Structure 1
Amino acid sequence: MNAPLGDAPRSLTGLHVVDADGAKVGTVQQVYRDDATNDPEWITVRTGLFGMRETFIPLAGARRAGDELHVPHAKETIKAAPRIDADGHLDPSEEAELYRHYGMARPGASGPGGAPGPGGEPGAGGRPDPGSGGTS
């Protein structure tokens, strides 16, 4: 994963997320870590009418610039992401669904969208970082 180098999950919370075209998407609410590596892998951003929905965005390819986190996805793609509860653990099937939506291969997978890798494992889910506003 290409997480922003040098950033602890807590330092990402509150950053303004900017899409690939420079449009503001929202503010980082939570940071989810990979179960196997403990690396930050996903963020959630409040989207929708009145910010009532939290949407998952992968950190792969993201870069920090001041108080902004630039992600390589269009705002429309982010807003159309699958609805997944952001108040708990991100299980492997939910993670695979998100990777498919963003057209990405899950780290360690043999193909896009979470196809099993050489070991046959579908991959580890994610959990929110306790200091980022999530629950563990």
Structure 2
Amino acid sequence: MSTRDRTDTGIMGPEGYPESTRLPATLDSLQGMEVRDSDGDKIGTVDDVYTDERGGYARYLAVKTGWIRAKRHMVPIDDVRMEGEGGDACLVLPYTRDQLKEGPTFGREDAVTREHERGIYGHYGRTGYWDAVRARQTAPAPTPEIAEAEVADMIDRGDDPAKVAVKRWGA
């Protein structure tokens, strides 16, 4: 899979992330980038990026923390912002060191299932991207015909809702 050039806000999901979300133009440039907490203190580095199943949208960062007992903490990509440029660039999370420390961890080869995703978003008190569109909708809710059309579109694209929804970038 090749990295596709994107706008200066990086690869964003179709549900639209908050305006504060800022990422580099390519996912490859995230690898090894310094990560800071909401207070601006260094807490780790980007160990991996997880995308949707098709590799089109960034969903999570695996942030490697610690030296001796290093852990990989999963964080949602929404509300992450890049500060600085070039070699001075870093990512700033909207979470404290303690929030990250207590957050979900995953091994490099672990598959991120919808259950894992709910745990990640639940820990950080966020609405999952799969519910983001629904959460912003106002009454009346979509009709059954619209819901059926959306499912048909998913099937036409080859999406299988029963499959794992997230994968490691480049995997």
TM-score norm. by structure 2 comes to 0.63
Report the CA distance between 1:35 and its aligned residue.
Answer: 2.2
Equivalent pair of 1:26/1:45 in contact (CA under 8 Å): yes
Task: Work out which of the residue numbers 46, 54, 68 in structure 1 matches 2:64.
Answer: 46
Greater percentage in helix? 2
Structure 2 residue runs without a partner (length 5+): 1-16, 136-141, 148-160
Question: How does the TM-score come out when normalised to structure 1?
Answer: 0.77
After superposition, the Cα gap between the structure-2 partners of 1:69 and 1:51, relative to the gap in structure 1 and judged at 3 Å, is farther
Q: Which runs of 5+ in 1 are unaligned?
A: 112-117, 131-135
Change (3 A) 1:37 1:14: closer
Q: Which residues of 2 match residues 29-68 of structure 1 at below 5 A? A: 29-35=47-53, 38-48=56-66, 50-66=68-84, 67-68=89-90
Percent of aligned pairs with the same residue?
Answer: 25
Which residue type is aligned with residue 114 of structure 2? P
| Aligned residue pairs, count | 125
Q: CA deviation at 1:75?
A: 1.0
Is residue 115 of structure 2 the alignment partner of residue 102 of structure 1? no
Q: Which is bigger in relative contact order (C-alpha 8 A, separation at least 6)?
A: 1
Which of residues 20, 28, 31 in structure 2 aligns to 1:13? Answer: 31
User: Residue 129 of structure 1 aligns to which amino acid in structure 2?
Assistant: W
Higher strand share: 1
Moved over 4 A (4+): 121-124
Distance 2:30 2:40 in 1: 18
